[in-house]
Amino acid sequence: MKKTMIIVSVLVSAVCTPAIAGFTRIISNTYEYGVILRNNESLLVTGGGADQVECRDYSYVEVKGTTSPLQLDVGGIFVLDLMNNSHMTFYNGEVGAFTIWNQAQAVFKGGRIDYISSYQTVPDVFVGYNEQGEPIFDKFRHIEMFVKSYLYNPTTTTLTGTWADNSTFAIKLLNQAGYDPVIDNIQFILVPEPATVCLLVLGGLFVNRMDG
């Protein structure tokens, strides 16, 4: 029962809890050029846009939204690069080309992303043991996507699907020689409908009360 409640809490948190933090730089209604984040710098984007945002070292970028359409001197981010050990959370907005290197990690929860390139490998990591005492391994993926559904076409390397807010996406995945395919570097987190979450919570409370 405790495991059920933990899972429900994680689901509710993933769907409902926004990131809250202090930022060293904010783009809200302007169009910027050549934005570079270094060390532990952070950037919050709530509107406007940039021709390029480059995240290095241990920097962090959070994109809540950009001005539409994706156009130079107007809005959106034409090129968004994550390098080294940088992180990103992308809630909404428009990006032309997203590229990830080294040990960087990204989370996507909505918006428009035209292209994704990945210069990363996807190693096996130890996650525990099964009932027979045998080791269990899983892939360490650097990109997470919170979606209701998704479909990958290996012929066109196009990823389509639906975000949690019911908006749709179509992303061209650009594989790079010497690195794992982009699709293998994406961890898909399936987000249940709000009604389903409520039923899980109510069901968990009911079972907990019965156990008590």
Q: What is the pLDDT of residues 70-114, one digit of tens each?
A: 999 999 999 999 999 999 999 999 999 999 999 999 999 999 999
Residue 199 resides in a domain: no
Tally the domains of the chain.
1
Lowest mean pLDDT among 25-29, 187-191, 193-197, 206-210: 206-210
In the chain, the percentage of residues whose pLDDT exceeds 70 is 81
Distance CA 189, CA 13 (A): 13
1-18: average pLDDT: 38
Residue 121 resides in a domain: yes
- C-alpha to C-alpha distances, 35 to 29, 55, 77, 103, 191, nearest whole angstrom: 15, 8, 10, 20, 32
Band (pLDDT 50/70/90 cuts) for residue 135 is: confident
Q: DSSP letters along 115-127, please?
A: EEEEE----EEEE
Residue 98 resides in a domain: yes
Give the closest residue to 43 by CA, choosing from 84, 4, 77.
Answer: 77
Residue 65 resides in a domain: yes
Q: Report the pLDDT value the prediction gives residue 13, as an integer from 0 to 100.
A: 40
pLDDT at 21 over 80: no
Residue 8 resides in a domain: no
Residue 9 resides in a domain: no
Structural domain boundaries enclosing 187: 22-126+134-193
- C-alpha to C-alpha distances, 177 to 82, 85, 118, nearest whole angstrom: 19, 22, 10
CB atoms within 10 A of CB 22: 6
Residue 16 resides in a domain: no
Residue 50 resides in a domain: yes
168-186: average pLDDT: 98
135-143: average pLDDT: 88
